[in-house]
Amino acid sequence: MEFKLDNHFLSLKADPLTRNQPRAVLQAHYSFVTPRVFEAAQIVHYSEATAALLGFSNEAIKSEVLQHLLKGQNTLGTTAYAACYGGHQFGHWAGQLGDGRAITFGQIKGKDQTYTLQFKGLGPTPYSRAGDGYAVLRSSIREYLMSEAMAYLGVPTTRALSLALSGELVTRDRLYNGNPQKEPGAIVCRIAPHFIRFGSFEIFAAREDIEHLKLLVDYTIEQYYPDLTIETNADYLLFFKAVMQKSLQTLIHWQSIGFVHGVLNTDNMSISGETIDYGPYGFLDEFDPTWTPNTTDVEHRRYCYENQPNTVLWNLYKLANALYPLVEDAKGFESILNRFKLEYELEFLKHMKLKLGCYGEHSSDEATIDELIELLRMSKADYSLFFRRLSELNANQLNLDQFRAVFYIQELDENLQHKWKIWFKNLEQRWGEQIQTDSDRQVQMKAINPRFILRNYMLEEVIQAAESGDYQLLNEFAELIKTPYEDNPKASPWIKKKPDTVGDSALSCSS
């Protein structure tokens, strides 16, 4: 069977220079690059589910041609490229960024849509800046496993096709302490409909290059928003509105399951809503709305859990500024942006009610949720374990003793215990007013409150084992992430609070 990639992104403007040296790339959407071929590369794992999305059967994925593809050794008839984009990082304009360690091979018509194949770790590009373009095993494992885990959780995300060892060592200062060490190099193949970011438009607006801005916007709409009809410049507002809606839905998913992205720069937000660029992410362990998984963010906590809605809105403002030259209608953008907060609050309320098993309308629901959030914070409750335990109970079982195992505080004071008692009583009454039986409600709640989530300490155990050549735990988690909402007995050893010895679970941006 023959496999061949397409590459319609190349219909945009190419960088006329071909040298792979870090430099400013002007009036171009991408640069042609030659990926490094690692002859000693070895495949560590691949996702059968992602391969199926591309139309690759289990038999085909084991073929010589696709085995070479998974290791980045064959572009299947296309010319590889790295994209040019900019972005705001930690609230400041960073200028040109671009694909510094990502190289795109092309598109393939998959099972349900066309997917773009992109590899990380195949060497430098003109956008590598001070980097070398290579990737290490630890960060590659984190992206590979979590992007697949998020997909099974039902969150819009890029997908991971394969994880491979490059066969070479890469030097990294892992702890930023002036003590660089050699680490195993790795290659990840990830897929998405595209890899166009907010920053892809920002770079041209910042350079006042309206011609190439318009070319990219028109291409994006034609390929990825074909239902939109652009007859006048004012119609570009429809595109912005659609991007806002997709961003909002992904944000709601994050907040609902307690996921913190950690580095929500404008260059790390896809214009079709997929979660992209898995760096210092994490799930809430003990419920602290101010927690950030990014050590670089600890001082200001710009990207902490409770700030994610504001950050996504801020990034949308920057996207609006980038698109403004095509529309020149500030009020049109403001009208769309002003709806974001209200729509977020309504959607968040809706999702939290479902997590609590509260159906229909009730005047007390918003207060119940607000009170719960405060109680979770004061009790240092494990976010995921609390909601899953709640999903398992009958109405007459609602009491504090059922939840003591999910608190990181050993003993709650009398005042806090009293508040919990009142809260449980109110929820019991709310459940009792519904037509759902306990068993029906439990089924519905379990479908949205995950039992198994891939915590940072688990990933660290995978990484430590893999760096010594042991992939048993990686294989185990690659299976467990497929059933996050099910009562899978194989996951039972991991359904527990984060161990006390683990610490904060925060990571640096380049981890």
The residues annotated as belonging to the active site are 267
Closest by Cα among 176, 174, 193, 175 to 184: 174
Closest by Cα among 274, 263, 112 to 194: 274
CA distance 47 to 55: 13
Considering Cα of 55, then 59, then 60, then 61, what sign does the dihedral take? positive
Residues 6+ apart with CB under 8 A from 371: 419, 423
Considering Cα of 293, then 295, then 280, then 196, what sign does the dihedral take? positive
Question: In this structure, what DSSP letter does residue 116 have?
Answer: E
CA distance 103 to 193: 15
Tokens matching residue 379: 């009790």
Other beta carbons within 10 angstroms of residue 419's beta carbon come to: 17
Closest by Cα among 347, 326, 114, 344 to 238: 326
DSSP codes, 297-319: GTTT-TTSGGGHHHHHHHHHHHH
* Phi, psi angle pair for 466, to nearest 5°: -65, -35
Question: In this structure, what DSSP letter does residue 453 have?
Answer: -
Residues 6+ apart with CB under 8 A from 478: 45, 47, 145, 148
* Gyration radius (Cα) of the chain, Å: 24
